[in-house]
Amino acid sequence: MAPRASALMDSLRAFGYDMATALADLVDNSLAASAGEVRVEFSTDEGAAWVAVIDDGDGMTETELHEAVRFGGSGPMAVRLTSDLGRFGLGLKTASLSQCRMLTVLSRTPSGLACRTWDIDLVRAADDWRVRIVADDEAVNIAQKVGFVKVGTMVLWRHLDHAGEGAVLARRLGQSRSRLRMWFHRYIARGRLRLVVGGHVLTAWDPFCRQHVATQDLGTERLEAGGQVRVTPYVLPHPSRLSEAEIKDGAGPRGWNAQQGFYVYRGDRMVSAGGWLGLPEMVIAPQTRLARIEVSMEPASDHVWQVDVRKSRVHPPAALEEDLAKLAAAARAASVSVFRRRVAAATGRQGRDHELTFGWTQERRHGTSRYLVNRQHPVVQSALAGGARAQVEAVLRLVERTLPIGVIAIEAENDQGRIAQAAMEGVDEAEARADLAAMLAALPKDAPGRDAAIRALGSVEPFNRFPDLVAEIVGQTSLGDSR
C-alpha cells in the first residue's frame, strides 16, 4: 500500500535539520556534481524571503533531475562514486523541506535548462506526489538576480516557514558559516571548494591547530573496520601559547570544552565534530579540552559507522571501540599533562631542577586551599626588612584574606580559554620596565645584601622572564650609584 503523500511529506520535514546541516547537505550534492564554487544567496524580506544555493557543477538533464527530486533516489545500497557524498537519496529533499514549504531546483547543462518544484501546499491539497516541471516567473527572476546563467544547479527555498524571515533568517545564515567552514575545511584548504555565504568567502577552520609549533601530533594509527580507518590524536597548545585571535578561532563553533574529542571524516567531509562517541568513561571535562582526534574513514564504510541522514552523527563500529578508547585515553592524558605542567609553572611546584621563587604560595588545610604572599621572595623580604614591617605585614594579610578565590573559580569555569597567568605575563615592555625598576629599587641599599638579592633574582618570578631588561636596569642603577 502506497503511503499518503501529505502525511509522509510532513513527516520527512522532521528529520532534525537546522539551517547549517541543511545547507551542508546541498553543498554535498554540489561537490558530487564536481562543483568548484558554491554560493548561498538570500533575501530576508518579510513575506518574500528566499534562500538560493548556486553551484558551477555539471548540472542535470531532465531525466537526472527527475530522479534527483524523487524521495529515496537510488537508495543507500546503490554503488556510488567515492566523490559522491550522498547515501540515502533523501538529503536534497528532506534538508530543503525542513526549512521551507516550496523547493525549486533549476539545473542547466549544455543541452538546456530543467526544473522541478515540490510545493507542500500542492501535495497536501491533492494528497498526491505532484511535482511541477516548469519554472515559475518568481524563480526565473531570482535566478537572474543571483547570476545563475551558466552550467550548474540552483536550489531555491521559498515560503520559509521553518527557516524564518528578516533578522531571524539573517542570524541563522550568519551562524551557519562557522560550521560550514568546519565541515568542509579539507575541501576549502586544498582549493577544491570556494564556499561563499551571503558574500562572505569562507576560510578553512582546522580543528587541530596543526600550524602551531606547540601542537602535539601523537602519531597515526591505521585500523580496519569495513575499510581502512586512520586515527591521529592531537593535543592543542595551552591557551597561554595562543594569541587572543587564536584562542577565539580555536574554540570553534561550540567553544573549547564542547569541541574536544573525535572528528570523524567520511572521505574529506567531516561528519562528526567533537564529543567522545559514547565511549565508556569518556566525558567532556575542562582539563581534557585540548585533546582532539582525527578519524578518517572511507566513504563506502559509512553504513558501518551508522552515519545518519543529516551526516552529522556517527556511531563507531563495535570492533573499533577498544582501540579508539585507548587512543582517546592517551590524548586525554596528554591534555591533562599540559595543564599540570602549566599549573606547576604558575605556582612554583616544579622539580628541583626548575625551582623558582614565586610571589604566591599555595597552602592546603583541611581539604581546602588558600593562597599566601610568599615571604621568601627577595622583594617581599626587602619590604619587610624596612622600618614599617608591621604595616607591610598588615597589608599582605589584607590582600591574602580578601583574595576572591570563589569569584576567580567561577570565572575560570565560565571561560574555558582562561588560564592561570604567571607574573607579568602579557604586559608590554614599558609597563614591565616601570614595575621592575620599582621592585629593584626596594632591594637593600648595602652592597653585599643588594648583590646577593640581585643574584637570586635570576631564577625568581617575575625577573626570570626579563633577564636582559633586569641586567639593563641593574646596570643603570649601579652606574647611578657610582656617581
pLDDT computed for residue 66 by the predictor: 92
Tell me which residue of 109, 173, 169, 102 sits closest to 139, measured CA to CA.
102
What is the rounded average pLDDT of the residues 120-147? 94
Cell numbers 526544473 correspond to 115
pLDDT per position as a tens digit, 374-393: 887 777 877 787 778 888 88
CA distances for 53 relative to 95, 118, 179, 198, angstroms = 12, 16, 16, 10
- Please report which confidence band the pLDDT of residue 427 belongs to, taking 50, 70 and 90 as the band edges: low
Tell me which residue of 306, 294, 292 sits closest to 258, measured CA to CA.
292
Tell me which residue of 360, 380, 378 sits closest to 370, measured CA to CA.
360
Cell numbers 540515502 correspond to 88
Paired with 364 in beta bridges are 369
Give the Cα separation of 300 and 87 in Å (integer): 10
Q: Quick check: 482 pLDDT over 90? A: no
Work out whether strand 50-55 and strand 37-43 pair parallel, antiparallel, or are unpaired: antiparallel
What is the rounded average pLDDT of the residues 82-94? 61
Q: Is there a contact between 63 and 107 (Cβ–Cβ < 8 Å)?
A: no
What is the rounded average pLDDT of the residues 89-116? 92
Q: Quick check: 351 pLDDT over 50? A: no
Q: Can you tell me whether residue 465 is helix, strand or coil?
A: helix
Written as nine digits, the cell of 34 is: 564536481
Give the Cα separation of 215 and 259 in Å (integer): 16
Planar angle of CA 19, 20, 23, nearest 5 degrees: 85
- Mean pLDDT score of the chain: 83
The 8-class DSSP code of residue 133 comes to: -
Cell numbers 565541515 correspond to 183
Alpha helices of 151-283 — where are they, by DSSP H?
A: 166-183, 185-189, 244-250
CA distances for 446 relative to 195, 375, 474, angstroms = 69, 20, 14
pLDDT computed for residue 14 by the predictor: 77
Paired with 265 in beta bridges are 270, 296
At 69, the amino acid letter reads V
- Please report which confidence band the pLDDT of residue 370 belongs to, taking 50, 70 and 90 as the band edges: confident
pLDDT computed for residue 299 by the predictor: 83
- CA end-to-end span of the chain, whole Å? 106
Which helix (H) or strand (E) segment holds residue 291: the answer is strand 291-297
Q: Quick check: 21 pLDDT over 60? A: yes
pLDDT computed for residue 352 by the predictor: 41
Q: Is there a contact between 101 and 120 (Cβ–Cβ < 8 Å)?
A: yes
What is the rounded average pLDDT of the residues 144-152? 97
Q: Which range has the worst mean pLDDT, 106-115, 202-211, 332-341?
A: 332-341
CA distances for 49 relative to 102, 141, 165, 263, angstroms = 12, 14, 6, 35
Name, in order, each residue with C-beta under 8 angstroms of 280's C-beta and a sequence gap of 6 or more.
Answer: 325
All domains of the chain, ordered by start, with CATH?
A: 5-201 (3.30.565.10), 216-345 (no CATH), 360-482 (no CATH)
